[in-house]
Structure 1
Amino acid sequence: MAKYIHFLMGLTLLALAPICLCHKTYGGYLYPQFYDRSCPRAQEIVHSIVAKAVAKETRMAASLLRLHFHDCFVKGCDASILLDSTGAITSEKRSNPNRNSARGFEVIDEIKSALEKECPQTVSCADIMALAARDSTVLAGGPSWVVPLGRRDSKGASLSGSNNNIPAPNNTFQTILTKFKLQGLDIVDLVALSGSHTIGNSRCVSFRQRLYNQSGNSQPDFTLDQSYAAQLRTRCPRSGGDQNLFVLDFVTPKKFDNSYFKNLLSFKGLLSSDQVLVTKNTVSLELVKKYAADNDLFFEQFAVSMIKMGNISPLTGSRGEIRKNCRKINA
């Protein structure tokens, strides 16, 4: 009887045990409990400041999520995107994907400032961004996941990496997939992570080509629903209005859900880089159909893919540093 109870307890523990979220990196492991002793309130502090920022401006959830993505695709998840330009550093904030569009830096500054008071030079800016991306997703109604921690901050930035590695709105499907594969991500990650476009905005300049001159022949993109296109043209003219903002998901713009995928199947994806998931590849089309039909499946895969993305080439061990100020390297 005692053996049987022991066996049952073992099964229960197995059922409760999380999938190992320890990710081996060059200098050590990333693991969720990294700050449990050195800064036990770290996650609580990040969450409270992100919650305050999102309550003030809903759009901030998408901005913080995007910041983590734009950081990880350049030299790995090392907070290089946060560095301002100095004599020795040319900031990634100047790159085409980030100029006039990357935002949320002040929220990261506020979190860093609070954490420096709580536990000086302990929590990296890179980990702050990973946690803020998760908290933003949850606050918008999306899935949660356990964030592996222990990243350190880079001592440099890469303007060329930012210009070349981050997928652009007008890239072909193959180019986007190649950019994901170079980061160790696959087609499933590509489709699931594109689902982050269920929240947030895009500027007219990012999709104008689709409305007026998709292939350089003065013709619109016919894979875009024409009544939707006509609606978009009213605020995105042939010239001017570059910075006019449009919601990426017009059905539930502030809610993290699978409407994005349903929109793609109705040919109402705002960006060309969204719509190609349906028009250019049968594998991605099938994934879009699956996520459009099953919100839980989308949430599950999004969480898995975010953990995977957050593990792109982190600095660990003695590599990099823990910046005191996320905008500049330590003196």
Structure 2
Amino acid sequence: MSSLATATMGTLLCIVLLLCSTVIVYGQLTPSFYTRSCAQAVPIVKDAVRQAIAREKRMGGSLVRLHFHDCFVNGCDGSILLDDSTNITGEKKAIPNANSARGSEVIDHIKSQLEKVCSGVVSCADILTLAAHESVVQLGGPSWTVSLGRRDSRTAVQRDVTKNIPSPFSSLPDLISSFQAKGLSAQDMIALSGAHTIGQAKCSLFRTRIYNETNINAAFATSRKASCPSSSGSGDSNLSPLDEDTPDSFDNNYYKILRTQRGLLHSDQVLFNGGSADALVTTYSVNQSAFFQDFATAMVNMGNIMPLTGTNGEIRKNCRVPN
């Protein structure tokens, strides 16, 4: 083979390897994804979330929940943010989300700010991920390295919500199964449940527990009954904190209240009810560092559920509608 042919072959090989490596890197999530294309992305999200929580502490829990409900339905693709249209019957009005999934206005505000400085660059899915992280940090919880590069879905399917979002009436085996279906372990599930150290729930979601269940602290049940009447339809939307002791602080108190049978939801208390989750709940209740470490790991794992990357999906300019 001539030296020219050898050189040509070598050049072609280098090009092929370069293209392959580019595809691999492009298809992965990375913390530095916006470093060159939109360096202001992370600071803008941080500032907007800080302001939103300063206005309403509850918003922190709502933004974490919004990210969770997005990722559990066909992956972390921003589909939960899409409004209904002639072509889309979206996720917002599904039973687990209707009049419950909050925070989309905060995401809209962040998106509008980002569009002013780097239009068409930062996805709504990544904004949800960053907002959840910053909410936890702002309320005193752990930080973790947030990988970015998700793209947005062009559609949403309402019926997929109830099939994928765990019910607040779930048993422990059902919870474990729901999370395993997303590639998450039982430990991930128990750690992620700790996000209920912030946020609130409606009376309709815990009425059965406070009136009918026996594995509940009597004084706690009585205190919740004051704002949650026994009759269905009466006071359904009345709110109670998921962690009555430190409702605005991201800490390990959630696990402490489970050990005293003060979990607000049925799906909370089943984590400490003589089952396989009891040992880890006990660990987290006495070791906040262990909880923080496992929660951070679980949030990374959740954020990696079926992301759209590369040329899949799109970067919406308005999180409520496809381009």
Q: In structure 2, what is the equivalent of residue 316 of structure 1?
A: 309
Q: Is the 8 A contact 1:73 1:183 kept in 2?
A: yes
In the TM superposition, what is the alpha-carbon distance from 1:226 to its structure 2 partner?
Answer: 1.2
What's the % identity of the aligned pairs? Answer: 52
Listed as ranges, the matches of 1:199-214 within 5 Å are 199-212=198-211
Q: Is the 8 A contact 1:277 1:285 kept in 2?
A: yes
Name the TM-score, length of structure 1 as normaliser: 0.89
Superposed CA deviations along residues 165-213 of structure 1, whole A, max 9, x for unmatched, are: 111111111111111001000100000000000001000000111123x
Q: In structure 2, what is the equivalent of residue 72 of structure 1?
A: 71
Q: Is the 8 A contact 1:26 1:316 kept in 2?
A: no
Q: In structure 2, what is the equivalent of residue 232 of structure 1?
A: 224
CA distance in 1 between partners of 2:222 and 2:24 (Å): 49
Name the TM-score, length of structure 2 as normaliser: 0.91
Pick one of 256, 260, 264 that aligns with 2:258: 264
Pick one of 230, 241, 258 that aligns with 2:235: 241
Q: In structure 2, what is the equivalent of residue 21 of structure 1?
A: none
Higher alpha-carbon Rg: 2
CA distance in 1 between partners of 2:279 and 2:131 (Å): 31
Q: Is the 8 A contact 1:25 1:316 kept in 2?
A: no
**Secondary structure, aligned partner of 1:279:** coil
Q: Is the 8 A contact 1:62 1:200 kept in 2?
A: yes
**Secondary structure, aligned partner of 1:277:** coil
Q: Which 4+ stretches in 1 moved above 6 angstroms?
A: 24-27
Unpaired runs of at least 5, structure 1: 1-23, 213-219
Unpaired runs of at least 5, structure 2: 1-22
Letter in 2 for 1:223: N
- Give the number of aligned pairs: 299
| 2:278 counterpart of 1:285 | yes
In the TM superposition, what is the alpha-carbon distance from 1:238 to its structure 2 partner?
Answer: 1.2
In the TM superposition, what is the alpha-carbon distance from 1:280 to its structure 2 partner?
Answer: 5.2
Letter in 2 for 1:129: L
In the TM superposition, what is the alpha-carbon distance from 1:56 to its structure 2 partner?
Answer: 0.6
In the TM superposition, what is the alpha-carbon distance from 1:164 to its structure 2 partner?
Answer: 1.4
CA distance in 2 between partners of 1:148 and 1:310 (Å): 8
Q: In structure 2, what is the equivalent of residue 253 of structure 1?
A: 247
Q: In structure 1, what is the equivalent of residue 13 of structure 2?
A: none
**Secondary structure, aligned partner of 1:93:** coil
CA distance in 2 between partners of 1:194 and 1:178 (Å): 14
Q: Is the 8 A contact 1:173 1:280 kept in 2?
A: no
Letter in 2 for 1:70: H
Of residues 135-144 and 155-164 in structure 1, the stretch that sits farther from structure 2 once superposed is: 155-164
CA distance in 2 between partners of 1:180 and 1:136 (Å): 22
Letter in 1 for 2:30: Y
**Secondary structure, aligned partner of 1:300:** helix
**Secondary structure, aligned partner of 1:89:** coil
In the TM superposition, what is the alpha-carbon distance from 1:281 to its structure 2 partner?
Answer: 2.1
CA distance in 2 between partners of 1:227 and 1:137 (Å): 30
CA distance in 2 between partners of 1:28 and 1:105 (Å): 27
Letter in 2 for 1:312: I
Instruction: Say what the alpha-carbon RMSD is for the aligned residues.
Output: 1.3
Q: Is the 8 A contact 1:27 1:319 kept in 2?
A: no
In the TM superposition, what is the alpha-carbon distance from 1:279 to its structure 2 partner?
Answer: 1.1
Q: In structure 1, what is the equivalent of residue 35 of structure 2?
A: 36
CA distance in 2 between partners of 1:160 and 1:237 (Å): 31
Letter in 1 for 2:322: I
Q: In structure 1, what is the equivalent of residue 16 of structure 2?
A: none
In the TM superposition, what is the alpha-carbon distance from 1:25 to its structure 2 partner?
Answer: 8.8
Q: Structure 1 209/119 Cα, relative in aligned 2: closer, same or farther at 3 Å?
A: same
**Secondary structure, aligned partner of 2:92:** helix
